Copies of this chain bind each other. A is one copy, B any other.
């Protein structure tokens, strides 16, 4: 993934002598680094979306020439991969208690996963196309371990993981891409009303106006967990 960087990231030189000067000229950019690039990429993606990330724009934000980026990164794909995995870091639950409440743990993990992605809506759209970075794998590992400890048989483990993964990804991607403005949503529903002879049922239930996404997510998740729960 990351190209030819040496172990230079810990260099972060602390030349305290210039700190007063740098107050005067706060625009003197620190040197380029993978961390700065990834951070700027995330900002840019948050602000402008997937199509808004251009190498030149990224370089502008960092106060460097475009081609400087290419010393730290192989290509644009790299930037996407790094931004995505960076955003999915899991800061586990506060307590490390060996809880008995496996179901609560799983729900917490998956809701956190979804929340992390919704904080950066582009990440949900990006995930399917990208490699599984270390943070994603860690989340999968933790989920597996919890289910396994809860008593899910090894033979059922993969089905459980993939069912939950599919559901969470689907819910998050849908939510992230259907999160229209109120105007857009109203317009869509109105379009539906105009065609109400063709789509009477979804028009009546006002499907496109319903936006209790969190509640719907939680309910479907509960159904899945009911089914996946180990029998005793």
On A, residues with C-beta under 8 Å from B are: 125, 128-129, 132, 134, 137-138, 140-141, 144-145, 148, 154, 157-159, 161-163, 165-171, 173-174, 176-177, 188, 192, 195, 198-202, 204-207, 210, 213, 215-217, 219-220, 222-224, 226-228
Contacts of A141 in B (CB 8 A): 198-202
Q: List 13 A-B contacts (CB under 8 A).
A: A141-B202, A144-B207, A157-B207, A158-B210, A159-B219, A161-B205, A165-B170, A166-B220, A167-B220, A220-B227, A222-B227, A223-B223, A227-B227
Other A-B pairs, 17, CB within 8 Å; known A140-B207, A141-B201, A162-B171: A125-B128, A129-B177, A134-B198, A138-B198, A141-B202, A148-B201, A161-B205, A162-B210, A163-B219, A165-B174, A169-B170, A169-B173, A170-B170, A173-B173, A220-B227, A222-B227, A224-B227
Q: A148-B201, A205-B154 are in contact. Are A171 and B166 (CB under 8 A)?
A: yes
Contacts of A125 in B (CB 8 A): 128-129
* Min CB gap A121→B, angstroms: 11
Q: Are B163 and A216 in contact (CB under 8 A)?
A: yes
Q: How far is the CA of A141 from the CA of B199 in the complex (A)?
A: 6
Q: How far is the CA of A163 from the CA of B171 in the complex (A)?
A: 8
Q: Are A166 and B174 in contact (CB under 8 A)?
A: yes
Kindly report how many copies of this chain are found in the complex they form together.
2
Q: Are B167 and A205 in contact (CB under 8 A)?
A: no
Q: Are B163 and A174 in contact (CB under 8 A)?
A: no
Q: Are B144 and A202 in contact (CB under 8 A)?
A: yes
Q: How far is the CA of A173 from the CA of B219 in the complex (A)?
A: 22
Q: Are B159 and A220 in contact (CB under 8 A)?
A: yes
Q: Are A207 and B128 in contact (CB under 8 A)?
A: no
Q: Are A163 and B223 in contact (CB under 8 A)?
A: yes
Q: A169-B174, A170-B168, A223-B227 are in contact. Are A192 and B137 (CB under 8 A)?
A: yes
Max chain B Cβ within 10 angstroms of own Cβ: one of A161, A195, A222: A161
